[in-house]
């Protein structure tokens, strides 16, 4: 993890001043309505720029589509009000219901590994806050996302619509078996860790498609499976820590 430098502190201070001055409405548990105050919006933009510079580019991610998406998506709108001053910090944040929004670097890394292009059909398992779906949509993908926690699905669906991400479709349900009627997918991104890779998700990949998934229980590893004409090619990326994938994934692991 990279240390936070002086510029990060200045950005946080500017945001805190804007909040103290009443520029941002923070009374709602979910994302509040956007502010028209240009000072506050400028502070949030500066926070995103610093996040991309110090957390993403500094760690070697150079895909301009990923970097541009992270600069555009207002991450602070996807976290609860009481976490908003930490929205661009280098760590995951709780979003309620025992779930988290991943740290910015992990969102960037998974987006980079998915190799999403404009017009690609992408399945996300675990909508959560909706932030990862918004990043993928900014990269030009048609995103279908499944969330097992109904209140999170409802909140994310409403927020994504409010922010103009009409290309994201959110379904409430268990994502273990994917979305077969919309398959095949050019990429599948899983944001919760199953004990093993769900076979239904592998079968819903198009040839050439990539499945990005954290796998494991106590010890987890981020993996990429690429479907080839002959089968699947596996890449192990790095150790990670995600919330567990619930529902049928747990039953399948016990079999």
Residue 42's CATH number: 3.40.50.150
Q: Is residue 46 part of a domain?
A: yes
- Within a domain: residue 1? no
Least confident range of 22-31, 88-97, 125-134, 169-178? 22-31
Number of structural domains found in the chain: 1
- Supply the pLDDT for residue 38: 83
pLDDT at 160 over 70: yes
Residue 164 lies in a domain: yes
| Token pair for 53 | 């510079």
- Domain residues for the domain of 106 are 6-254
The pTM is what? 0.85
Residue 85 lies in a domain: yes
Let me know if residue 241 belongs to a domain. yes
Residues tagged active-site: 102
> Could you tell me the pLDDT band of residue 232, with boundaries at 50, 70 and 90?
very high
Which pLDDT score, from 0 to 100, does residue 37 have?
81
Q: Which range, of 4-8, 147-151, 202-206, 233-237, averages the lowest pLDDT?
A: 4-8
Structural domain contains residue 17: yes
Percent of the chain having pLDDT more than 70? Answer: 85
């Amino acid at each position: 993890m990279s240390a936070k430098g002086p510029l990060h502190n200045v950005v946080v201070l500017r945001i805190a001043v804007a909040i103290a001055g009443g520029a941002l409405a923070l009374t709602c548990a979910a994302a509040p309505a956007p502010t028209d105050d240009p000072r506050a919006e400028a502070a949030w933009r500066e926070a995103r720029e610093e996040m991309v510079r110090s957390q993403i580019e500094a760690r070697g991610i150079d895909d301009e589509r990923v970097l541009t998406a992270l600069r555009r998506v207002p991450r602070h709108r996807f976290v609860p009000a009481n976490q908003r001053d930490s929205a661009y910090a280098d760590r995951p944040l709780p979003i309620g219901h025992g779930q988290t929004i991943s740290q910015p670097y992990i969102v960037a890394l998974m987006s980079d590994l998915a190799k999403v292009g404009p017009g690609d059909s992408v399945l996300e398992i675990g909508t959560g806050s909706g932030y990862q779906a918004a990043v993928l949509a900014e990269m030009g993908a048609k995103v279908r996302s499944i969330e097992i926690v109904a209140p999170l699905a409802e909140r994310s669906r409403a927020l994504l619509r409010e922010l103009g991400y009409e290309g994201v479709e959110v379904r409430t349900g268990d994502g273990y078996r994917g979305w077969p009627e919309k398959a095949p997918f050019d990429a599948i991104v899983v944001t919760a860790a199953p004990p093993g890779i769900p076979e239904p998700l592998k079968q819903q990949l198009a040839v050439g498609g990539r499945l990005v998934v954290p796998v494991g229980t106590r010890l987890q590893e981020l993996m990429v499976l690429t479907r080839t004409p002959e089968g699947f090619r596996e890449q192990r990326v790095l150790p990670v820590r995600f919330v567990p994938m619930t529902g049928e994934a747990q039953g399948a692991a016990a079999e």
